[in-house]
Amino acid sequence: MIHVGDRLWLLTTPSSSYAVRLGDDDVPRCVHWGRPLTLDQARTLPAGREELPGEGGERFGVAGLQIRYADGVRGVDWRHLGHQVGEDGLVLRFADRHHPLEITLHYRVPPGGDAVERRTVLRNAGATPITVLRCDSAAWSVPARDDYRLSHVTGAWGAEFRLGRARVAPAETVLTSRRGHSGHHANPWLAVDAGDATEDAGEVWSTALAWSGSWRVTLERDQDDRVAWSGGFGHEGVTWRLGPGESLETPVFTGVYAPDGFGGASHRWHDHIRAHVLPDANRTRPVIYNSWEATGFDVTESQQMELAERAAELGVELFVVDDAWFGARTSDRAGLGDWWPNPERFPDGLKPLIDHVTGLGMRFGLWVEPESVNRDSDLYRAHPEWVLGQAHRRATEVRDQLLLDFSRPDVAEWAHAWLDDLVSGHDIAFLKWDMNRPFTEAGDDTWVPFVRNVYDVIDRLRAAHPDLLIEGCASGGGRADLGMLARTDQIWTSDNTDAAQRVAIQHGYGQIYPACTMGAWVTDSPNALTGRRTPVRFRFHVAMSGALGIGGDLRHWSGDDLREAALLVETYKRIRPIVHGGRMDRLGPCAVQYTRGDQVVVFVWRPSALEPATAPVRPRGLEPGAVYRDEDTGAIHHGAVLMSHGLPRPLPFDALSELTRLTRVG
């Protein structure tokens, strides 16, 4: 709902309002972001921080809009041109008073949604180029509080999405990726609270940027003890030359306000992403088998067929051959770019394997890394000029590979053509789209068009093959963001498949991203990366709380493990609609609940057997007066008792995990 007052605009969602007002100087400023207000209530508030602070005048904080005109003059002298309210939400139009720069601020509440989507468009309406040193999507500010706390995730390869909470320093805090993908170290998501929020109480203001390349969000606690942040694509130093008539469109920066704690913020993010970001959240995420950890670079047709047979026996629905099915890819040193079946490994092409897989009742998928190339490839030999690089600079190799310059239309066209051929020419239901190295030697005109072309290739592929499922990946969870999720079905969360470490990774991932997007495999014990031994049941219980896959070498699993695995896959299929479509509540760092209608699923994990016993886990949001049946024991429990005293079956002393399924029966 959008209300228009006298130079005041109010957007209202079920749990929040966002109000903007123009000052006498025509500068748009935030009046309110928080609990729902009426227009009359918003009118009584003074204007606060600028919606997109620039430079010049008495501006000494973070500049989200930095402009330099041909005459060397900087900044924007705002002049309001008008506004529109329509299907696309609220559009506020501005121009500089002297220079031919037009600025449009967009605000949108998706239909039925509980989030505000913001973005900015710049246009050079003049005849000479304008340099854009920075153009953020939006700036956000929260009402004055006694203190402020920042929640965000940090990490590295194999250790993504570690949740951190810290008092906001009286300084500028920069969350960024300079890697050309959204990154392992930070994720373009954050939350701010007054230091008093808990899982289910307190105000939380949270934002996420829909961009899969370099980005920067700068959070500032200023000398007046106020907190605001500005964010957008590109890191510092990435600039644009805006030619006459050209426009620059920023990605969407989405804000969610929750009056009911971190859990409430997560509920709204999950609902928003499922309803308004993902191409189709209702599509069933199949149980996947992926052969990477089992066979690495040593792929053969017969061995994949054997794995497929084992996988089918467990109830797997989709079989994926990961790396090393193509070109001369027998190690990470060769083959990227040559996207045809390796003739020695698949002498008759992929068809015999695909037929075998589909004959077993599964669908088939492949790993691809379209943005990369090895020097040792036919593609590189034919098109060395396609590599992302800069004159007189040595091309850095990471993981023995280079990047293709996807900002080039011919490169993007080539990628689209072979991907389309691959999917059209085979019975392929799934692609894992990987990107295993950051940008290096990239020029100003590369960072943004590269990502846009990646988006465009995926979008065209999806449009032509609407049933194709796509998993986003960048060395694990290095490219998990709302931009990627707008065109993929799930994300490969981390190459770390050690269930004990996954619990923390998933705890961070789930703060914003829903379980249906959280790719999670059960792999071997001992774990290939960490050497940890864990029971198969624990590994399953951790992976079953996301989008389940299996990635172990099933040829070496014991009969007992295979039998237990098949039962657990069966159970997973029963709870999948609840886990993927329900409301998620964290019941502590090692327990999570999913609730959909009358059905409740609770996972409890004990990542280390030496953890001291904890109090029973108490489910949330049950009907106090209702009764619930435990689907495994048949016992009946009262909602009020479960919420006060916890689950009836505490974790047995010798178990690392427990799954409880409850159904409301009266």
Regarding 322 and contact with ligand GLA (CB under 6 A), the answer is yes
405 vs 434, beta carbon nearer ligand GLA:
434
Regarding 471 and contact with ligand GLA (CB under 6 A), the answer is no
Regarding 367 and contact with ligand GLA (CB under 6 A), the answer is yes
287 vs 528, beta carbon nearer ligand GLA:
528
Regarding 493 and contact with ligand GLA (CB under 6 A), the answer is no
The distance of closest approach from Cβ of residue 496 to ligand GLA in the complex, given in angstroms and rounded to an integer, is: 10
296 vs 588, beta carbon nearer ligand GLA:
296
Cis peptide leading into residue 607 (ω within 30°): no
Write the single-letter amino acid at 530: T
The span of 158-166, 418-426, 469-477, 598-606 binding ligand GLA (CB under 6 A) equals 469-477
The span of 111-119, 180-188, 470-478, 517-525 binding ligand GLA (CB under 6 A) equals 470-478
* C-alpha atoms less than 13 angstroms from C-alpha of 481 in its C-beta half-sphere: 32
Give whole-number Cα distances, 558 to 104, 499, 525, 535, 572, in Å. Answer: 62, 19, 11, 12, 21
The distance of closest approach from Cβ of residue 322 to ligand GLA in the complex, given in angstroms and rounded to an integer, is: 5
- What SS3 state is found at 627? strand
The single residue among 15, 230, 377, 436 that binds ligand GLA, judged by CB under 6 A, is: 436
Facing residues of 593 across strands?
585, 602
Alpha-carbon span 8 to 23, nearest angstrom: 10
Please enumerate in sequence order all residues whose Cβ is within 8 A of that of 175, keeping only pairs 6 or more positions apart, or say none: 152, 186, 188, 190, 216, 217, 218, 219
Regarding 371 and contact with ligand GLA (CB under 6 A), the answer is no
Do β-strands 547-550 and 518-522 pair in parallel, antiparallel, or remain unpaired?
parallel
HEC letters along 368-428: ECCCEECCECHHHHHCHHHECCCCCCCCCCECCEEEECCCCHHHHHHHHHHHHHHHHHCCC
Regarding 495 and contact with ligand GLA (CB under 6 A), the answer is yes
- Touching ligand GLA, residues 257-276 (CB under 6 A): none
Regarding 405 and contact with ligand GLA (CB under 6 A), the answer is no
| Torsion sign, CA atoms 475, 175, 371, 211 | positive
Answer yes or no: are the C-beta atoms of 460 and 479 closer than 8 Å. Answer: no
Q: Considering only CA atoms, which of 34, 11, 37 is closest in space to residue 204?
A: 34
Total interface residues for ligand GLA by CB under 6 A: 11
Catalytic residue among 434, 489, 498, 524: 434
The distance of closest approach from Cβ of residue 543 to ligand GLA in the complex, given in angstroms and rounded to an integer, is: 14
The single residue among 138, 442, 470, 473 that binds ligand GLA, judged by CB under 6 A, is: 473
478 vs 508, beta carbon nearer ligand GLA:
478
The single residue among 77, 114, 117, 323 that binds ligand GLA, judged by CB under 6 A, is: 323
Catalytic residue among 495, 524, 561, 585: 495
Q: Considering only CA atoms, which of 101, 451, 412, 409 is closest in space to residue 250?
A: 451
69 vs 289, beta carbon nearer ligand GLA:
289
The distance of closest approach from Cβ of residue 292 to ligand GLA in the complex, given in angstroms and rounded to an integer, is: 5
295 vs 525, beta carbon nearer ligand GLA:
295
> Is 434 among the residues known to form the active site?
yes
Work out the burial of residue 26: count CB atoms within 10 Å of its CB; fewer than 13 is exposed, 13-18 middle, 19 or more buried.
Answer: middle
Answer yes or no: are the C-beta atoms of 462 and 423 closer than 8 Å. Answer: no
The span of 28-36, 125-133, 464-472, 473-481 binding ligand GLA (CB under 6 A) equals 473-481
Binding mask 639-658 for ligand GLA (x = CB under 6 A): --------------------
Answer yes or no: are the C-beta atoms of 269 and 206 closer than 8 Å. Answer: yes
Answer yes or no: are the C-beta atoms of 288 and 316 closer than 8 Å. Answer: yes
- Quick one: angle between helices 351-359 and 301-314, nearest 10? 20
141 vs 490, beta carbon nearer ligand GLA:
490
- Touching ligand GLA, residues 279-318 (CB under 6 A): 292
Do β-strands 65-68 and 28-34 pair in parallel, antiparallel, or remain unpaired?
unpaired
Vertex 17 angle, CA 216 and 109, to 5°: 65
The distance of closest approach from Cβ of residue 304 to ligand GLA in the complex, given in angstroms and rounded to an integer, is: 15
Alpha-carbon span 188 to 165, nearest angstrom: 15
The distance of closest approach from Cβ of residue 300 to ligand GLA in the complex, given in angstroms and rounded to an integer, is: 17
The distance of closest approach from Cβ of residue 631 to ligand GLA in the complex, given in angstroms and rounded to an integer, is: 34
Regarding 475 and contact with ligand GLA (CB under 6 A), the answer is yes
Regarding 193 and contact with ligand GLA (CB under 6 A), the answer is no
435 vs 604, beta carbon nearer ligand GLA:
435
The residues annotated as belonging to the active site are 434, 495
Residues within the interface to ligand GLA (CB under 6 A): 292, 322-323, 367, 434, 436, 473, 475-476, 492, 495
